[in-house]
Structure 1
Amino acid sequence: MKPHEFIAKLAPIATEDMRKYGVPASLTLAQAILESNWGTSGLTQKANNLFGIKGTGPAGSVTMPTTEYRGNTPYTVQAQFRKYNGWHESVDDHTRLILNGTRDKPKRYHGVLWADYKTAATEIWKGGYATDPKYPQKLISIMEQYSLHRYDLPSPEEEERMKIEQLTAELQKTQGELRQLANQYASALNTLSEQGNTIKQLHARLKKLEAQQPDQVPAWAEDAVKAAKKAEALNDPDGSYDFYRMLTILHRMGIFSDPKK
């Protein structure tokens, strides 16, 4: 089985276990890769045992040679290993071992729970899972080479913190948008107020101009003025714009028409 096929097959199982119990998926994957040699070891082939867990499993046990260490000195012994009906059972047993530890020390592996991948690799070794002094570095090397830490999930506390940070960021963004809208609204009101004042000023100027007498008869009132003079109804043609408008209206009504016609 190729590395990417092995990871693709085991990653969903490891991730689900982490979601339920907090055992880092990166640790489960790295230990399975190291202990089973990508699923090709005799123990995995014969017993579906991915993690080298000793004892009797759901499907019995098998006796296999294994390498142990006294300090930095390796030696080989025959040992009884658990046998499983499938990889799911092997992962479940691995998780139970980490959660329950041993009779003499039930919490021996609890340092790995919800830990980052480097801490998990060190804590599983400190708990006595393996005697190889290079075991943590071997796990970390696998984790980093294949980016197994990308399968790890945040702890419930970290997930809540991330949610709070996300909501805070969204709230701050909304508050910023509201402030911007408020500023735009205030600017629009100010513009409307200025325009209103301008209109009032123009209206006042127009009224003032309308009340003033023009320097000469407006072109549009010349015919009315002539007709009024001819009808001897007007002696002084000077007047205001209102006067000329009224004169124009009377002219259009025929008031100044020649009575001889």
Structure 2
Amino acid sequence: MTETEFITKIVPYAVEDMQRSHIAASLTIAQAALESGFGNSGLTVKANNLFGIKGSGPAGSLSMRTTEYRNGQAVQVSALFRAYNNWGESVADHSALIAQGVSWNRNLYSKVVGVDGKTAAREIAAAGYATDPNYASKLIQLMNTYNLYQYDEIKEDDEMSAEDKQKLDSLEGEVKELRVLLAGLTASRDTLKTGVQEQGQAIKGVTERVVIIEGRTVMNMPAWAEPAVQAAVAAGLLDTPAGGSYDFYRILTVLNRAGLLVTKKGV
């Protein structure tokens, strides 16, 4: 596997995990590249272990020879490493370790969470994640060489998976009937706004049906949904902008793109 192939493969896992864990994707990618030799180490090939985490994993464990530093000297030792079914499990386990720490110190890696890649690299090295005294500088060099910082900036399109984008597009069909109704209105803008507001119950009904089908949990408002939520609040269709389901925010986004959320500024 080439370095480019490795980065291309791991980026989706690292970015998706960052949205959940707030651990910089640049750190996840750099650590995985360094620990796994860009996906070519025996531990990664045989056990999908990207970070050299020891112990027993979802797919058991694997005994491997590894280099550790004792009193500044590199020595070869045998150790049991966690085995995973895929890279996604390895990335998630890596973030769980950082977030939860270790049994004797749950806050061991707390300074790694919510900071930029360079700071995270220094903090995780300072916390003793690896015995290599040059661990932080090696991570930062990888970040600089491959511009891994670009993956720390989430764009709107990156916030939705391909599956979610497909579902968002499919919801366009849910509002076609509303668009047909609105197309037939010839009254004033005030009447038009009233007509849209009267469709509020229908919109809420669609929302409730999708939430039941999808079984999504309540979540904080994502950044990509802010314009739609603001338009819905301004139009009087929404009382509380926070605490909706993922699909609720997707539906509002579709309605906003379709021009169905008429704001007070438009009166």
User: What TM-score comes out, normalization by structure 2 length?
Assistant: 0.57
Partner of 1:135: 135
Unaligned runs of 5+ in 1: 164-261
RMSD, aligned CA: 1.6
Instruction: Letter of the 2:73 partner, please give it.
Output: T
Structure 2 distance, partners of 1:40, 1:21, is 26
Larger radius of gyration: 1
Instruction: Letter of the 2:79 partner, please give it.
Output: A
Deviations 1:121-170 (A, max 9, x none): 1111112210100000000000000000111137xxxx99xx9xxxxxxx
- Matched ranges for 1:139-178 at <5 A: 139-153=139-153
Instruction: Letter of the 2:29 partner, please give it.
Output: L
Structure 1 residue 33, shift from structure 2 partner:
0.3
Deviations 1:30-51 (A, max 9, x none): 0000000011000001100000
Structure 1 residue 71, shift from structure 2 partner:
3.2
Instruction: Letter of the 1:116 partner, please give it.
Output: D
Deviations 1:19-40 (A, max 9, x none): 1111110000000000000110
Structure 1 distance, partners of 2:22, 2:98, is 10
Structure 1 residue 72, shift from structure 2 partner:
1.9
C-alpha contact (below 8 Å) 1:122/1:136 kept by paired residues: yes
Partner of 2:82: 82
Deviations 1:89-111 (A, max 9, x none): 00010010000010111111111
Question: Secondary structure at the residue paired with 2:111?
Answer: helix
Partner of 2:93: 93
Structure 1 distance, partners of 2:142, 2:109, is 20
Partner of 2:247: none
Instruction: Flag as ranges the 4+ runs of structure 1 deviating above 2 A.
Output: none
Partner of 1:35: 35
Instruction: Letter of the 1:115 partner, please give it.
Output: V
Number of residue pairs aligned between Structure 1 and Structure 2: 157
Structure 1 distance, partners of 2:130, 2:53, is 10
User: What TM-score comes out, normalization by structure 1 length?
Assistant: 0.58
Partner of 2:110: 110
Percent of aligned positions with the same letter in both sequences?
A: 54
Instruction: Letter of the 1:126 partner, please give it.
Output: A
Structure 2 distance, partners of 1:3, 1:69, is 26
